[in-house]
Amino acid sequence: MSKNKLECYSNGVYFENPFLVGSGPPSTNAKVIARSFDAGWGGSVIKTLSLDHTKVKNIAPRYGQYKVDGKCIGFTNNELITDRPLSVWLEEIRELKKRYPSKVLIGSIMEEPTRENWQELTEKVCKAGVDIIELNLSCPHGMPERKMGQAMGQCPEVVSDVTSWVKEVSTVPVWAKMTPNITDITIPAAAALKAGADGLTAINTILSVSGIDLKTFKPVPNVKGVSAFGGYSYKAVKPIGLRMVGELAMAFPKVEISGVGGIVDGQSSAEYLCMGSSTLQVCTAIMLDGFKIIGALKSELEAVLDQHGMENVHELKAKSLEFFGTMEEMAKRLEASKQKTKAHTDHFEGDNIVEVSKQLTLD
């Protein structure tokens, strides 16, 4: 049998491949999770759980698309965490672990910021059999009026409290999922790690408005004329996700990072690994193209490894970080190379703006 180049470990947990279904619609009940496992995904992060589902009121429509030339490049959502009872979920977790013992099941959890709530939820979810806990400290519409979701992730003291409460009782590794809706992602990440988090997940969705209907001036999507800033995902967020994963990997080189945000193919998967991720999560691409994309993700990532004569996916980890430096360093290198360029801004003379812009662009 040929060697599985994609198998990997993160926080001591074995993954048959680094591709995990990210928390969201593709992990929203046991039926879809089972489907993802049958299709070949290495694991799944369950749609975020809380103690009392009756407080969760989902709306419809709740998704929007940002299209360029008719093609969706960005996706917005106003979806809350799971609206299904925790007792049903706990039974489903038990069943899934029985049926798919080799797949990694990650319990995403969120609660109001009290020790009792977080510890009760952690204990129940661990007991049901998850392999890892992911703290949802990051949903933009994670019910901020209840001080949940990104309202927690934006406050390092709360991140620290929640992480330490969960670590006191968790029997499995704990990943803290970070919000990108913050100036410096390393500040809350440092608080989570100091409080005992074993790993980090980045990024959750970015606050956004997908568009305005110019006939009515109402934002899209809206419900009966009212909208709220949504969470932005899919291809358009990849450059921001890569930057934030890179910032985390540079600040905490030994920490396991699960990269997420705009992963759609082998190229974007490999890029997240090169920026320091050890596992990869995919959400919107599955919503748009189905669980079957796992076939192309795996073969395209394997092709990247083969191209470089690499034996294992771990070899790509953080491969690109050494190539980041400062603007000053770049200027010095260019000067030393004596290469003729149009770097000076005086080269823009008016009508040549398109041509000079092109010359300054690396495709």
Ligand X SMILES: Cc1cc2nc3c(=O)[nH]c(=O)nc-3n(C[C@H](O)[C@H](O)[C@H](O)COP(=O)(O)O)c2cc1C
Alpha helices in 264-313 (DSSP H): 266-274, 284-289, 293-307
Between 108 and 117, whose beta carbon lies closer to ligand X? 108
356 vs 331: CA distance, rounded Å: 19
- Kindly state the smallest distance separating residue 99's Cβ from ligand X, in Å: 23
> Of 35, 198, 41, 83, which is closest to residue 132 (Cα–Cα)?
198
- Does 124 contact ligand X by CB under 6 A? no
Q: Tell me the C-alpha distance between 93 and 104, whole Å.
A: 11
Q: Which two tokens stand for residue 254?
A: 């030994």
Nearest to 46 by CA among 18, 63, 25: 25
Looking at the Cβ atoms of 79 and 198, the one nearer to ligand X is 79
Our CB check for ligand X shows the closer of 207 and 310 to be 207
> Quick check: 185 binds ligand X (CB under 6 A)?
no
Contact between 22 and ligand X per CB under 6 A: yes
Give the range of 84-92, 156-164, 183-191, 259-267 binding ligand X by CB under 6 A: 259-267
Q: How far is the CB of 122 from ligand X (least distance, A)?
A: 16
Q: Would you state the torsion angle of the CA atoms of residues 176, 62, 233, 83, taken in this order, to the nearest 10 degrees? A: 20
Q: Is residue 139 annotated as part of the catalytic site, yes or no?
A: yes
The least distance separating ligand X from the CB of residue 350, rounded to whole angstroms, comes to 40
Q: How far apart are the first and last CA of the chain?
A: 40
Q: Taking CB under 6 A as the rule, does residue 121 contact ligand X? A: no
The one among 15, 41, 234, 291 contacting ligand X by CB under 6 A: 234
The angle at the Cα of 186, spanning 153 to 297, to the nearest 5 degrees, equals: 85
177 counts as binding ligand X under rule CB under 6 A: yes
Which CB, 242 or 263, lies closer to ligand X? Answer: 263
Q: Residue with structure tokens 């406050």?
A: 155
The residue annotated as part of the active site, out of 8, 72, 126, 139, is 139
Positions in 74-93 near ligand X (CB under 6 A): 75, 77, 79, 81
Residue 262 interacts with ligand X (CB under 6 A): yes or no: yes
Nearest approach, Cβ of residue 347 and ligand X (Å): 37
Applying CB under 6 A, does 64 fall inside the site for ligand X? Answer: no
Check binding of 96 to ligand X (CB under 6 A): no
Nearby residues of 159 by Cβ (< 8 Å), 6 or more positions away: 137, 152, 153, 176, 188, 191, 192, 195
Burial class (CB in 10 A: 0-12, 13-18, 19+), 129: middle
| Helical (H) or strand (E) element with 202 | strand 199-202
**48 contributes a contact to ligand X by CB under 6 A:** yes
Least Cβ distance, residue 116 to ligand X (angstroms):
22
Q: Quick check: 170 binds ligand X (CB under 6 A)?
A: no
83 vs 341, which CB is nearer to ligand X?
Answer: 83
Piece of the chain touching ligand X by CB under 6 A; list 122-130, 221-229, 256-264, 335-343: 256-264
User: Tokens for 287?
Assistant: 């919503």
Instruction: For the CB of residue 2, give the shortest distance to ligand X in the complex, in Å.
Output: 29
Is the CA virtual torsion 125, 127, 130, 133 positive or negative?
A: positive
Shortest distance, position 32 Cβ to ligand X, whole Å: 13
User: Which residue from 107, 173, 261, 276 is in contact with ligand X, where contact means CB under 6 A?
Assistant: 261
Could you tell me which of 199, 207, 313 has the C-alpha nearest to residue 248? 199
- Report the residue from 23, 208, 210, 268 that binds ligand X according to the rule CB under 6 A: 23
Structure token pair of residue 27: 């992990």
Helix (H, G, I), strand (E, B) or coil at 3: coil
Catalog residues that contact ligand X under the rule CB under 6 A. 22-25, 47-48, 75, 77, 79, 81, 108, 136, 139, 177, 204-205, 233-234, 237, 260-263, 282-285
Positions annotated as catalytic residues are 139
